[in-house]
Amino acid sequence: MKILFVLENYYPFIGGAEVLFKNLCEGLAGRGHNVTVLTSLLPGTLPAENINGVAVRRIRLPSRGRRYWFSFAAIPQAVKLAGQADFVHTTTYNGAFPAWLAARLRKKPVIITVLEIIGPLWSKLEGMNKLSSFLHRLLERMIIGLPFDRDIAISRYTAGCLQLYGVKDDRISTIYPGINYSLFNPVTARGKLVRKQLDIADDQFVYMYFGRPGISKGIDYLIKAVPLIATVIANSRLLLILSREPADGFQRVISLIKDMDIGDRVILIDPVPRDVLPDYIAASDCVVVPSLSEGFGFTAAEACAMGVPVVASNIASLPEVVSGKYVLIRPGDHVAIGDGVSAVYNKRYITSDTIMFLWERSITDYITLCYGDLIQ
């Protein structure tokens, strides 16, 4: 099969969506399919290159509002490349319209993998004014309302959201992403080495967040919980592995840490290479996932794979993803985060068998439930 992916971001961009599509694209290429990705040109990347069997084509965009420019600037190349493809595949949000339009003009099947539907929560997100939340919710409704041939949900929760938005059941399939268990392996992780490098004493309790400072990630509530946690666990520190994008979210976190005067309680570092991320998870006593919405929750699933206790919001897809040792808490509540971390410290957490999310199964499901079904 010849499959064109239209994605606003792709590797080496850091994020859960990029992990999903890098593994899916390379997995399909590894099974002999012809895979092309149309995406944004990032600093330090090439306009055209082959990455592990995947042909990547990047378009240059203005730096300001880059992701929104992609929705329109990608159309000419998407139409051109769609003519050579059997399928066009995209995702929420800004690659959806050019992918759908190109597929319709070329009369090709078009598939969308829906990562997340925020819905009414847009109006409750910090840093989002009324106009911005209205426009984002309108954009989300418009994208979900486009008549795709297949809507792939990455969790049962996301599938339910699609149904609420009026997407017909026969268009929806649920396909979980996978976790690389050979990478996220607690046996081979070097947690002690990381603690030594970061000058963390053996008796210090470290709770960790890693990912983007996106508006739905709830990181502001985690920062506000730091003083509360310090009163209960005196020798505790927050390990914060934080992307600098989106820039406004990063600056908001930095300002909050400064205003609360908790810099001595926070170890703030830039994102680390993915092949050493398990070492940092292993260096932590628990991982906090304070999200206000999650379509799947790679952070939670990867921490669970490492056997590290997880404190996660009891919302969206997270209750169906977390396993092993975990505590579910009220979302959007810094006191609840403090109580959750304290519960882990005192070993008062739920214990269950670890849920396995396998990439081989995920790729097979895409081929059989998605592409194969459309061929028939």
Confidence at residue 138, expressed as pLDDT on a 0 to 100 scale: 87
Mean pLDDT, the chain, integer: 93
Model confidence pLDDT, tens digit, residues 213-270: 988 899 999 999 999 999 999 999 999 999 988 888 899 999 999 999 999 999 999 9
Model confidence pLDDT, tens digit, residues 15-33: 889 999 999 999 999 999 9
Distance CA 51, CA 129 (A): 39
Per the structure, the complete domain to which residue 107 belongs is given by 2-178+358-375
Distance CA 71, CA 91 (A): 12
Q: Clarify whether residues 249 and 345 are in a common domain.
A: yes
Confidence at residue 182, expressed as pLDDT on a 0 to 100 scale: 95
- On whether the CB atoms of residues 118 and 216 are closer than 8 A, the answer is yes
Q: Clarify whether residues 135 and 253 are in a common domain.
A: no
Query: pTM of this prediction?
Result: 0.91
Confidence check: pLDDT of 336 > 70: yes
Distance CA 117, CA 213 (A): 18
Which of 99, 19, 8, 4 has the alpha carbon at shortest distance from 55? 4
Q: Clarify whether residues 371 and 314 are in a common domain.
A: no
Q: Clarify whether residues 107 and 170 are in a common domain.
A: yes
Distant-in-sequence, close-in-space partners of 78: CB < 8 Å, separation ≥ 6: 4, 6, 38, 88, 98, 99, 101, 102
What's the total number of domains in the chain? Answer: 2
Burial of 40 from C-beta contacts in 10 A (0-12 / 13-18 / 19+)? buried
* Residue 12: cis peptide before it, omega within 30 degrees of 0: yes
Q: Clarify whether residues 342 and 371 are in a common domain.
A: no
Q: Clarify whether residues 66 and 173 are in a common domain.
A: yes
Q: Supply angle C-alpha 227, 228, 232, rounded to 5.
A: 115
Average the pLDDT over each of 45-49, 189-193, 246-250 and give the range with the smallest value.
246-250
Distance CA 228, CA 39 (A): 43
Q: Clarify whether residues 215 and 76 are in a common domain.
A: no
Domain assignment present for residue 186? The answer is no
Domain assignment present for residue 184? The answer is no
Band (14; pLDDT cuts 50, 70, 90) = confident
Domain assignment present for residue 44? The answer is yes
Confidence at residue 363, expressed as pLDDT on a 0 to 100 scale: 96
Domain assignment present for residue 297? The answer is yes
Confidence at residue 127, expressed as pLDDT on a 0 to 100 scale: 67
Report the CATH number at residue 111: 3.40.50.2000
- On whether the CB atoms of residues 206 and 280 are closer than 8 A, the answer is no
Average the pLDDT over each of 136-140, 189-193, 250-254 and give the range with the smallest value.
136-140
Confidence check: pLDDT of 374 > 70: no
- On whether the CB atoms of residues 358 and 178 are closer than 8 A, the answer is yes
Domain assignment present for residue 366? The answer is yes
Distance CA 132, CA 268 (A): 29
Q: Clarify whether residues 53 and 83 are in a common domain.
A: yes
Q: Clarify whether residues 142 and 244 are in a common domain.
A: no
Q: Clarify whether residues 130 and 92 are in a common domain.
A: yes
Domain assignment present for residue 363? The answer is yes
Distance CA 44, CA 238 (A): 31
Tokens of 279: 């070492």
Tokens of 218: 């709830």
Domain assignment present for residue 185? The answer is no
State the average pLDDT over residues 333-355: 97
Model confidence pLDDT, tens digit, residues 67-111: 789 999 999 999 999 999 999 999 998 999 999 999 999 999 999
- What torsion, rounded to 10 degrees, do the Cα atoms 72, 76, 78, 80 define? 170
- On whether the CB atoms of residues 57 and 37 are closer than 8 A, the answer is yes
Q: Supply angle C-alpha 29, 156, 281, rounded to 5.
A: 70
Confidence check: pLDDT of 50 > 60: yes
Domain assignment present for residue 183? The answer is no
Q: Clarify whether residues 174 and 208 are in a common domain.
A: no
Q: Clarify whether residues 134 and 238 are in a common domain.
A: no
Model confidence pLDDT, tens digit, residues 141-178: 999 999 999 999 999 999 999 999 899 999 999 999 99
Band (185; pLDDT cuts 50, 70, 90) = very high
